[in-house]
Amino acid sequence: MSFQNPVFIPGPTNMPEVLRKACDMPTIDHRSPLFGKILNPCLDGVRKVLKSETAKVFFFPSTGTGGWETALTNTLSAGDTVLAARNGMFSHRWIDMCQRHGLDVRILETPWGQGLPADRYEEALKADTGHRIKAVLATHNETATGVRSDIAAVRRALESTGHPALLFVDGVSSIASMDFRMEEWGVDVAVTGSQKGFMLPAGLAIVGFSEKAMKATATAGLPRTFFDVRDMGKGYDANAFPYTPPVGLLNGLKLSLDMLFEEGLDNVFARHHRIAEGVRRAVSAWGLELCAVSPDLYSDTVSAIRTPEGFNATNIVTRAASEYGMAFGVGLGEVAGKVFRIGHLGSLTDAMMLSGLATAEMVMADLGLDIKLGSGVAAAQEYYRHGSGKAKKAAA
């Protein structure tokens, strides 16, 4: 196992070596002032990535799933009603978590491949004249289907109905890779993790709480200690954690943020778009279709690609791993066997992406799909290459 090929799972992503080296820290005294010099730039930097001036940012040694639980348990009480659309595996799992925590979930069932139905959110909010709905859940980027939804539209649904519910957004596979505007979109809790756009190992839940969400912590009845944002916040006031912090990961996050800002967030987003668009052109050249039903929904971090009827898409992932040492993502839940996924987020170059597309072509050809070798690569190359007149610089 030589770990030479890049991975194309939709997270954890390929990690830049400098970030891995920053994570690989010797032990320091996490109660010493040194820790504050690692923690505080992380808090400031994540706030900037979330595009919020006022959000409280928290890090938990956990994952995105822990981030969801942080959102729920710090703001809600058993029996509270929440509104959520289910349009993929990750929105499904968050709904399941709500139910297991004794929340009453009004579910907007939505075909997988479609975006969040802002109109149906609005309808449901309008109908909730008693304001029983305490929180609205929205998955910004459905990692299972490669669908990016319009969070601003969900906010407009809340505004047009004058509904006071909190807005919780799962940005696990979008934040730091695609534009996310916590303040402008009125997001009350934003959730992500270390292992996607931040290009780090898994192990950190990263959440942002609006002032309104922070207020809700005073009345929230769900039990929590590990994920309690008030304890965590008190810790931060003393440059500390309420328990042992994952110092190395935070040190990596500090450098990750430096790298993102040095490249420029807009450039980071543009790079993700460029690489993703190349993948989409390859898919089109192959004669295949995305799970996402329309271009406005196309995710720049992951593409779920439908394979022909009767073909088990999971075989592509299995064979790519066993024969070519390359990792793609399988279809999950409703689309298991129907799609395979190419993750194209985090630290990637055009050349790396082309190696993924070229390998996918070999696998599909091996498996008898009618794919012309080189066809998708050529379509992506045509998009990626720098025309003589163009001044585009590749991400080195």
CB contact set of 174 (below 8 Å; sequence gap of 6+): 140, 141, 148, 180, 192, 197, 299, 301
Closest separation in Å from C-beta 87 to a copy of itself: 19
For the chain, the helix, strand and coil percentages under 3-state DSSP, each to the nearest 5: 40, 15, 45
CA-based radius of gyration for the chain: 21
Which of 31/131 has CB closer to a copy of itself? 31
Single out the residue of 108, 66, 299, 70 nearest to residue 188, CA to CA: 70
Closest separation in Å from C-beta 126 to a copy of itself: 30
Give the C-alpha distances (Å, rounded to integers) separating 148 from 191, 293, 331.
15, 11, 17
Closest separation in Å from C-beta 79 to a copy of itself: 12
Which of 193/208 has CB closer to a copy of itself? 193
Which of 295/393 has CB closer to a copy of itself? 393
Single out the residue of 382, 211, 168 nearest to residue 390, CA to CA: 382
End-to-end CA distance of the chain: 26
Closest separation in Å from C-beta 25 to a copy of itself: 8
Which of 36/374 has CB closer to a copy of itself? 374
Which of 293/327 has CB closer to a copy of itself? 327
Closest separation in Å from C-beta 108 to a copy of itself: 21
- Residue 327 Rama label (left phi>0; alpha psi -120 to 50; beta): beta
Phi, psi of 306 (to 5 degrees): -75, 135
Which of 16/41 has CB closer to a copy of itself? 16
Single out the residue of 346, 327, 332, 285 nearest to residue 304, CA to CA: 332
Which of 47/341 has CB closer to a copy of itself? 341
Closest separation in Å from C-beta 207 to a copy of itself: 13
Which of 172/290 has CB closer to a copy of itself? 172
Closest separation in Å from C-beta 124 to a copy of itself: 24
* Strand 147-148, strand 339-343: pairing: unpaired
User: What residue has token string 């659309």?
Assistant: 85
Report the C-alpha dihedral over residues 300, 348, 181, 59, rounded to 10 degrees: 130
The encoded tokens of residue 311 equal: 């073909």
**Continuous H helices in the chain:** 17-23, 33-49, 64-73, 89-100, 118-127, 151-160, 211-216, 229-237, 247-263, 265-285, 314-324, 350-366, 375-384
Which of 115/246 has CB closer to a copy of itself? 246
Closest separation in Å from C-beta 294 to a copy of itself: 28
Query: What is the C-alpha to C-alpha distance for residues 332 and 330, in angstroms, rounded to an integer?
Result: 6
Which of 64/117 has CB closer to a copy of itself? 64
Phi, psi of 75 (to 5 degrees): -125, -15
Closest separation in Å from C-beta 140 to a copy of itself: 17
Closest separation in Å from C-beta 311 to a copy of itself: 14
